[in-house]
Amino acid sequence: MTIHSRQAGYAAERMSRSLIWFRRDLRTQDNTALHEAARASNGGVVAVFILCPKQWEQHGDARVKVDFWLRNLKVLSESLARLRIPLLLERAESIDQVPD
């Protein structure tokens, strides 16, 4: 019995994953960056949002505004989950700790 490799004739396709960093625009609809990340990736997309309470404090953001952000992050997470895109929430003590 002869076993032939199925790899012959197959082009090795490199998997790529895209990262999208949400900052202020928390929309999934009509989001060009999200659309392009999904289009350019064949290995999926991962989304990230960085919580920076010290920055909110420095900008004088009221608790109600912070609550608004957190509620919208929940909606964003649910919207992304329907698209099979995980949302990673990271925390930084100051914006200086966040890479460009």
Summarised one tens digit per residue, pLDDT across range 4-25 is: 444 444 445 677 889 999 988 9
The pLDDT of residue 76: 97
pLDDT cut 70: percent of the chain above it = 87
The pLDDT of residue 87: 97
Residue at 26 is within a domain: yes
56-85: average pLDDT: 93
Residue at 11 is within a domain: no
Range of the domain at 65: 18-97
Residue at 9 is within a domain: no
pTM of the model: 0.77
Q: How many helices (H) and strands (E) does the chain have?
A: 3, 3
Answer yes or no: are the C-beta atoms of 24 and 72 closer than 8 Å.
no
CATH code at 34? 3.40.50.620
Residue at 58 is within a domain: yes
Domain count, the chain: 1
12-39: average pLDDT: 88
Residue at 76 is within a domain: yes
If you write DSSP's letter for every residue of 39-68 in order, what string do you get? HH-SS-EEEEEEE-HHHHHHTT--HHHHHH
The pLDDT of residue 13: 63
The pLDDT of residue 73: 96
Beta-strand relationship, 45-51 and 18-22: parallel
